[in-house]
Amino acid sequence: MMSFDIAAVLDYLIKLLPAIRITLVIVASSILLGLIVGTLVALPQLYNIPVLKRLSQLYLSFFRGTPILIQLFLFYYGLPELLKLVAVDAARVPALYFVILTYALHSGAFMAEMIRAAVAAVDRGQVEAAYAVGMSGLQVFWRIVLPQAIATALPVFANLTIANLKDTSLAFTLGVMELTGKSQTLGVMSRQFLETYAALAILYFILSFVLERLFHLLERRMSRKGLAGI
């Protein structure tokens, strides 16, 4: 029976630190892109645009209804095949870009729903009052709807970001050396797999905890200063 080597856990923790950079790059890029994608997808639903609304629903269905691992493989191997049809050779594009794209589209789907729910949660009476006071459509959006929507959306956004952080652990299947990928290579020679997983768990926990605290801080500042707090 193999005994648990605590010193090895510490050793692996230190060896895994450089890989945090790639994990955070994936999280930051995909959340940012996902926010943009999510907003674009939510708009047809909010404004009831006929054809685009249908497309949005299809998009949401697919990205929320299939496992991320399948999405990663579909995009990494399938997208270049599709691009071949329009004479674009994507065979040599590094896996990292495909990974960020897939996570962005995946998070985007959840963000679209978050945006839709947050905007719908703003009391209709507020909007009507704003119009009554004489604000233009844009002013109503920026000064009345958006601050309240963000306040509702922020906890959900924090959730999605932290979930995204943990989902990045699947990127190693495409050869990206983020935290989980790096950990797989560490245990090969020493066969201390339990210790590498323990180190991984500790690192992911620390990262999630830091993110959680940061978002908590942001929420507090928003509740006091509104949009100026961002």
67 forms part of the interface with other proteins (CB under 8 A): no
58-66, 118-126, 158-166, 187-195 -> range binding other proteins (CB under 8 A): 187-195
191 forms part of the interface with other proteins (CB under 8 A): yes
Cβ contact 103:176 at 8 Å:
no
Amino acid at the residue 184? Q
228 forms part of the interface with other proteins (CB under 8 A): yes
| Nearest one of 129, 210, 195 to 162, comparing CA atoms | 210
**Rounded Cα–Cα distance for residues 148 and 118 (Å):** 8
176 forms part of the interface with other proteins (CB under 8 A): yes
DSSP, res 2: P
Q: How distant is the alpha carbon of residue 96 from its chain centre?
A: 15
22 forms part of the interface with other proteins (CB under 8 A): yes
Binding positions for other proteins, 100-129, rule CB under 8 A: 100
CB of 156 to other proteins, least distance (A): 18
**Rounded Cα–Cα distance for residues 43 and 119 (Å):** 11
Residue ranges binding other proteins (CB under 8 A): 2, 15, 18, 21-22, 25, 28-29, 32, 77, 80-81, 91-92, 94-97, 100, 172-177, 184-189, 191, 193, 196, 227-228, 230
